Structure 1
Amino acid sequence: MNIDLNGYRSRKTQRVNHMAENTENKQEKKNKKENFNFPPIGNGKNIKTPKFGGIWLYVLLALIFIGFNFFNLRTEPVKTNWQEVKTKMLEKGDIEKFVVITNKGLVNVFLKPNRVENYSQLKSKGFKNSDPGPQFTFAIGSLEGFEKNVAEAQKDIPGAANTTIEYEKEYDGWGDILQLLLPFGLLILIWMFFFRRMSKGSGGGGGIFNVGKSQAKLFDKESNIKVTFKDVAGLAEAKQEVEEIVSFLKNPDKYTKLGGKIPKGALLVGPPGTGKTLMAKAMAGEANVPFFSMSGSDFVEMFVGVGASRVRDLFKQAKEKAPCIIFIDEIDAIGRARGKNPNMGSNDERENTLNQLLTEMDGFETNSGVIILAATNRADILDSALLRAGRFDRQIYVDLPELKDREAIFKVHLKPLKLAGDVDIDFLAKQTPGFSGADIANVANEAALIAARKNKNAVEKQDFLDAIDRIVGGLENRSKVIKSSERKAIAYHEAGHATASWLLQHAHPLLKVTIVPRGKALGAAWYLPQERQITTKEQLLDQMCSILGGRAAEELVFGQISTGAQNDLERATKQAYAMVTIFGMSDKIGNLSYYDSTGQSDYSFTKPYSEKTAELIDTEVKNLVETAYARAKQILSEHREQHRQVAELLIEREVIFSDDLERILGKRPWKEEEEEEQLLPENTPQPELTTQQ
């Protein structure tokens, strides 16, 4: 048996080559399909195709429902009544049967197949003899009445004898299903709507299943945070504490080799606008570790248990990315002391959130490498368990900036401004005692707006002074109509403040006096408070006498008093009560203070003193105020002519300065002592604005 191996091999090679060619052709066709370039639409512009989401499914279902209801293939029967059925159809013997729809009170009439074309109204609607029917329909009042009518017709009409009656229940398909499911569908849609709004409002996504997830924003190495500690001017001691935490995270061996441990938490406490949140931003920019940031109100929701769940999820994420920092801004939203809530001990969601936060910060499980940083301006209402060592090991007090700090803050906020040559940063810092960092930023911005309003090319010194007046006193209102008699009374009132304060040793130095309405005030005397660490009784009495100088001037000059001293009396009364009940500056009350710095007395219903002591306090306060008022009247009586000159100059110019008072009243003999006091460590009370209302 001879076998041609060469021919066999050649045929096999041909089949292999043919299969390879087929494979290549298929791959080419596939590549052509994938790489097929559709012609450009809309002048070659790229048009995004719509993305089909869940909303398109609802639209499709709605279209199907509309199609079933409005494009039904079955021809609707013609409406008629029993009288026509009896006289026109039963008498001719055209009716094959009646079908009673018991659940709708209708009767469908089925004609005999060869009788359909006898009715013109059926032809016009497209009925044919081959159609199964029904051809006509009519409503009945009751089933018994219809059966009685048919029975009588069968007796009287020979053609109706063979007509039968059938009974059915008819369902409307999609309509009945929709009617059954519509209430449940509406409830589900409302439920989904509220949960989606809730999750969006709290900054989270993912629908209802992410309600209990943490809403913290994560800042890591990839986040572009441009704020650093260089942008935080002043606050040297507070900044050093925070920088040490960042240093520990960057170089932990420096501290752990001596046996030290990283602080578990730090609480930034201080008045509003002093830079607590800015310091946290700088910490996020400086630290090379993940930084979680959220507000205390982000934990609290309208549903029970959501806050505690978000706390758990936050610390779960933090442990996975340890070492890291968690920053909670305005922690007093969830850290309020338990048992002091105005809800009278109810099971509050905030308390549940606080309990979970306490457990996560220092509970049975350890959080190694997770540092908690929080900020608040209401540390007095925080729970003591939250403030203990082991949770917040450090409380960093961020106070109002002093003179040197204000200079540094001004340098930061004046960098982007075009300044004139007469702007002195040291002068601006001295003009803004008691201003926070946010206030100084507002002064710089307001000065730039004022300069732009006046079409200036640079921000001048006067623009900054106007901005300070605008922020402290309010908007100037020169259009307010004031009678000449009222204007004179306001001038003498403000002159009384100026004269009394100029002649009192411990009163704050006067800057200027104005009778131009500003904000709610009809006039104002501007002072530059001396920045003291402590205040003596003599200093408080001199300030109280200066405050009452306006009321005393009205009584001495006009022989009557007005409502313009309302703000003065309020301030003097509060200061007198503070001297008696807080500072222990009353001889009869003694060295007692009824002030509670813990804030617990805010929720008590009883006073810490008896009714007899309360009467004694009222008597002492009244004596202090009356003594100061009599002293103010005496000073103004002794310098009646100088007081008159100040008032007349004020009426003429509307605004006078300390130079004008020095020309009329002479130099103050205590100026050198005031300059020496300025060299002492500074305190920062708010600038005083004595108003005439």
Structure 2
Amino acid sequence: MTKKTNKSKKNSNLGNFSGGMKPPKFNPYWIYGIVIIVFLGIQYFSFGGGPVETNWQEVKNTMLKNHDIEKIVVVNREEAQIYLKEDSYADYADKLNQGFNTPSKFGPHYFFTIGSVETFEDNLRSAQADFNDSDRISLEYKTVHNYFSEILGWIFPFLIIIGIWWWIFRRMSKGGGGAGGAGNIFSVGKSQAKIFDKDSRVNTTFKDVAGLAEAKQEVEEIVEFLKNPAKYTKLGGKIPKGALLVGPPGTGKTLLAKAVAGEANVPFFSMSGSDFVEMFVGVGASRVRDLFKQAKEKAPCIVFIDEIDAIGRARGKNPNMGSNDERENTLNQLLTEMDGFDTNSGVIILAATNRADILDRALMRAGRFDRQIHVELPDLNERREIFQVHLRPIKLADEVEVNFLSKQTPGFSGADIANVCNEAALIAARRNRNKVTKQDFLDAVDRIVGGLEKKNKIISKDEKRRIAYHEAGHATISWLLEHAHPLVKVTIVPRGKALGAAWYLPEERSITTKEQLLDEMCSALGGRAAEQLVFGTISSGAQNDLEKITKQAYAMISIFGMSDKVGNVSFYDSTGQTDFGFTKPYSEKTAELIDAEAKELIDNQYQRALQVLKDHQEGHKTLAEKLLEKEVIFGEDLETIFGKRPWAKEEQLGDNGNDTKTEKPAAITEAKETEETH
């Protein structure tokens, strides 16, 4: 009974090994290793051992003198090998015992290196001068060829060259094998797509994607197509061939694709557009063919191409005019595979890009990408949902409110919000706190938007005073103009490249009126106007302001049609199809008119800023001196000096409970860079 149990247990173990633990996969490189080891063994470990090294003095004074030598063989005119007589072998047995390398009993037993054959012959002749003729030993000569060394000497240089060549090509095609084996130069044309199926699942689901309600609904429907196609096909509908995710960086396009991979119970191929591009001609098209070949074999499945603009750029727009462009060949193959003569039933293409304007029109048409899903920056409610996702693993203090954080981060993408949460946790840990407080989040926002504080930066008193009046000029005008963004914080502490900065809480608008743009322009010119009024001179500190308002003025005239003289025209090409932009879409006369209108627009707002500051000169001075004293002032300081804004909206003034001095919004819309003189 015991025997049977042990036997069954043994069989069970064998079954577990064969079923669970896979034996090591055969590798052809093993054969090369075995061959090399065998050759080395033959070369360095000869069977039966070899002769023991000695010298001429010992041979002369001992072996020759005692007549123990049977014969001496000169090999290759370099080495003399000594053969002992059979009855004398026992006298030298102790010296010859070398373990595994003990010489054979039949010899040779000893060897030594001779200088020249003639000299050795003379020495041997003189050593045997007193011997009888019967006892004298004559020399034998022998030539031995070491074929292995000779062959190796010829082959070894070629082996080194081939090895270097193989290593270089392997480095150039690193990972190029895909399924055919990474680094194999013969599989460089194979697809590099990572395959996620039942053996390697993605854990991201739609629950991890906050906000993006409309975009999520579109991709959820694609997953539903694959799970239950009969629901749609019974009414005559067809499964979409592809969907293109378009939006600014950090908005969650790749995250949506990962959620699709986690939700859909079908194989998921993931790769980047740059994976098709290689230095070898024709590799990109070959990888496209191999990708779709694998996808058809595993259909139904999803193919995701991230940053498709790497190969999807509009044809004919490449500066290499007339040349054979590898990217265009890759794109042509992709167009053919997506919707060509051959059908790809059950293969859905997902792609993502933040540069949809440069994509080829043939790639964007229905039949290839039937759906274009726009993933935009999140609004207030969507930011609240994103914060709730990223705050899950963080230990929060009771004072932290998601509504407050979402209000303080206008214009932030999902990636920015994730960075804020992570930075806040790091700041709290740096301060040795057990929980992350609201102040940590606000400091994290300042750190991300404005840069690192540089309190030790050397600034003279005169420069600091100029910066204070400059910032106070911005704060004063933004507080007194109706459509300017409400200011919440001003600082003259250097942060990043800026020597001073003003934080605003911009109103989230879908459209912007001309009056709002003019008020923002006037507010941006407040710093330069303040320097002119107070010091009578201007500095380079307004560089960032001037750059911003110049772009804004030209946009108002040539894009938004907000000039009476130029008229209701727009010279902006939103399709991105303009050929290289070598020529302007208007005449030289119109260009002069646009320049004159932009200058007039900026000059008018500069004079307006000067007038506002003259009318409120005392308040501006008080604010600047307070800024010099405290280095940081908040919205309530301006309210104390100038009074409450009559047009202020309640939700824009912040909602942070009793602690009004920690009210810091996320959008830093104005920061000055000055030429460093230290």
| TM value normalised by structure 1 | 0.77
Q: In the alignment, is residue 529 of structure 1 matched against residue 506 of structure 2?
A: yes
User: Matches of 1:53 and 1:228 in 2, distance apart?
Assistant: 38
After TM superposition, the structure 1 = structure 2 runs for residues 610-689 of structure 1, keeping only pairs within 5 Å, are 610-671=587-648, 687-689=668-670
Q: In the alignment, is residue 189 of structure 1 matched against residue 189 of structure 2?
A: no
CA deviations over 1:476-525 (Å, ceiling 9, x no partner)? 22122222211111110100000111111211111111111111111101
> Displacement, 1:171?
6.8
After TM superposition, the structure 1 = structure 2 runs for residues 118-157 of structure 1, keeping only pairs within 5 Å, are none
User: Matches of 2:481 and 2:229 in 1, distance apart?
Assistant: 58
The answer as to whether partners of 2:428 and 2:436 remain within 8 angstroms in 1 is: yes
User: Matches of 1:230 and 1:131 in 2, distance apart?
Assistant: 84
> Displacement, 1:236?
1.5
Tell me the equivalent position of 1:83.
none
The answer as to whether partners of 1:432 and 1:687 remain within 8 angstroms in 2 is: no
Paired AA for residue 246 in structure 2: V
- Over the aligned positions, Cα root-mean-square deviation in angstroms equals 4.7
| Between 366-375 and 211-220, the greater mean CA deviation after superposition | 211-220
After TM superposition, the structure 1 = structure 2 runs for residues 88-127 of structure 1, keeping only pairs within 5 Å, are none
Tell me the equivalent position of 1:3.
none
User: Matches of 1:479 and 1:170 in 2, distance apart?
Assistant: 80
The answer as to whether partners of 1:100 and 1:107 remain within 8 angstroms in 2 is: yes
> Displacement, 1:196?
4.4
User: Matches of 1:226 and 1:332 in 2, distance apart?
Assistant: 27
The answer as to whether partners of 2:192 and 2:287 remain within 8 angstroms in 1 is: yes
The answer as to whether partners of 2:485 and 2:506 remain within 8 angstroms in 1 is: yes
Q: Secondary structure at the match of 1:671?
A: coil
After TM superposition, the structure 1 = structure 2 runs for residues 289-308 of structure 1, keeping only pairs within 5 Å, are 289-308=266-285
After TM superposition, the structure 1 = structure 2 runs for residues 8-157 of structure 1, keeping only pairs within 5 Å, are 58=32, 60-66=34-40
The answer as to whether partners of 2:176 and 2:190 remain within 8 angstroms in 1 is: no
| Between 345-354 and 188-197, the greater mean CA deviation after superposition | 188-197
User: Matches of 1:447 and 1:505 in 2, distance apart?
Assistant: 34
Tell me the equivalent position of 1:442.
419
Tell me the equivalent position of 1:509.
486
User: Matches of 1:99 and 1:346 in 2, distance apart?
Assistant: 71
After TM superposition, the structure 1 = structure 2 runs for residues 242-253 of structure 1, keeping only pairs within 5 Å, are 242-253=219-230
CA separation of 1:672/1:301 partners in 2, compared to 1, >3 Å: closer, same or farther?
Answer: closer
The answer as to whether partners of 1:475 and 1:518 remain within 8 angstroms in 2 is: yes
> Displacement, 1:537?
1.9
CA separation of 1:399/1:503 partners in 2, compared to 1, >3 Å: closer, same or farther?
Answer: same
> Displacement, 1:471?
1.0
Q: Secondary structure at the match of 1:632?
A: helix
Matching residue within 200, 207, 211 for 2:175: 200
Tell me the equivalent position of 1:460.
437
| Between 263-272 and 424-433, the greater mean CA deviation after superposition | 424-433
| Between 465-474 and 661-670, the greater mean CA deviation after superposition | 661-670
Tell me the equivalent position of 2:516.
539
CA separation of 1:291/1:560 partners in 2, compared to 1, >3 Å: closer, same or farther?
Answer: same
Tell me the equivalent position of 1:16.
none
Paired AA for residue 200 in structure 1: G
User: Matches of 1:567 and 1:451 in 2, distance apart?
Assistant: 32
> Displacement, 1:275?
1.0
Tell me the equivalent position of 1:690.
671
User: Matches of 2:34 and 2:41 in 1, distance apart?
Assistant: 11
User: Matches of 1:107 and 1:470 in 2, distance apart?
Assistant: 80
The answer as to whether partners of 1:433 and 1:687 remain within 8 angstroms in 2 is: no
> Which structure 1 residue ranges, 5 or more long, are not aligned?
1-26, 38-47, 81-97, 115-123, 141-162, 677-684
Tell me the equivalent position of 2:262.
285
CA deviations over 1:211-240 (Å, ceiling 9, x no partner)? 333222223345443322222211111112
> Displacement, 1:136?
11
User: Matches of 2:454 and 2:397 in 1, distance apart?
Assistant: 27
Tell me the equivalent position of 2:542.
565
CA deviations over 1:21-68 (Å, ceiling 9, x no partner)? xxxxxx99xx99x99x9xxxxxxxxxx9x9898666555555555555
Tell me the equivalent position of 1:92.
none
Paired AA for residue 628 in structure 2: I
Paired AA for residue 690 in structure 1: A
The answer as to whether partners of 2:180 and 2:190 remain within 8 angstroms in 1 is: no
User: Matches of 2:542 and 2:224 in 1, distance apart?
Assistant: 55
> Which structure 2 residue ranges, 5 or more long, are not aligned?
14-20, 57-72, 86-94, 97-102, 117-137, 654-665
The answer as to whether partners of 1:494 and 1:513 remain within 8 angstroms in 2 is: yes
Count of matched residue positions in the alignment of Structure 1 and Structure 2: 630
CA deviations over 1:335-356 (Å, ceiling 9, x no partner)? 1222212333532332222221
Q: In the alignment, is residue 395 of structure 1 matched against residue 372 of structure 2?
A: yes
> Displacement, 1:580?
2.4
User: Matches of 1:447 and 1:215 in 2, distance apart?
Assistant: 38
Tell me the equivalent position of 1:148.
none
> Displacement, 1:247?
2.0
User: Matches of 1:223 and 1:690 in 2, distance apart?
Assistant: 48
Matching residue within 264, 272, 280 for 2:249: 272
Tell me the equivalent position of 1:225.
202
CA separation of 1:60/1:257 partners in 2, compared to 1, >3 Å: closer, same or farther?
Answer: closer
CA separation of 1:642/1:202 partners in 2, compared to 1, >3 Å: closer, same or farther?
Answer: farther
CA separation of 1:602/1:476 partners in 2, compared to 1, >3 Å: closer, same or farther?
Answer: farther
> Displacement, 1:183?
3.3
User: Matches of 1:615 and 1:242 in 2, distance apart?
Assistant: 49
| Between 603-612 and 419-428, the greater mean CA deviation after superposition | 603-612
CA separation of 1:523/1:404 partners in 2, compared to 1, >3 Å: closer, same or farther?
Answer: same
Paired AA for residue 671 in structure 2: T
The answer as to whether partners of 1:300 and 1:306 remain within 8 angstroms in 2 is: yes
Matching residue within 534, 541, 553 for 1:576: 553
| Between 459-468 and 345-354, the greater mean CA deviation after superposition | 345-354
The answer as to whether partners of 1:476 and 1:519 remain within 8 angstroms in 2 is: yes
> Displacement, 1:548?
1.1
Q: Secondary structure at the match of 1:396?
A: strand
User: Matches of 1:287 and 1:107 in 2, distance apart?
Assistant: 78
User: Matches of 2:232 and 2:416 in 1, distance apart?
Assistant: 38
User: Matches of 2:198 and 2:52 in 1, distance apart?
Assistant: 72
Q: Secondary structure at the match of 1:326?
A: strand
Matching residue within 314, 333, 357 for 2:310: 333
Q: In the alignment, is residue 379 of structure 1 matched against residue 356 of structure 2?
A: yes
CA separation of 1:168/1:459 partners in 2, compared to 1, >3 Å: closer, same or farther?
Answer: closer
Matching residue within 362, 376, 382 for 2:339: 362
User: Matches of 1:629 and 1:551 in 2, distance apart?
Assistant: 8
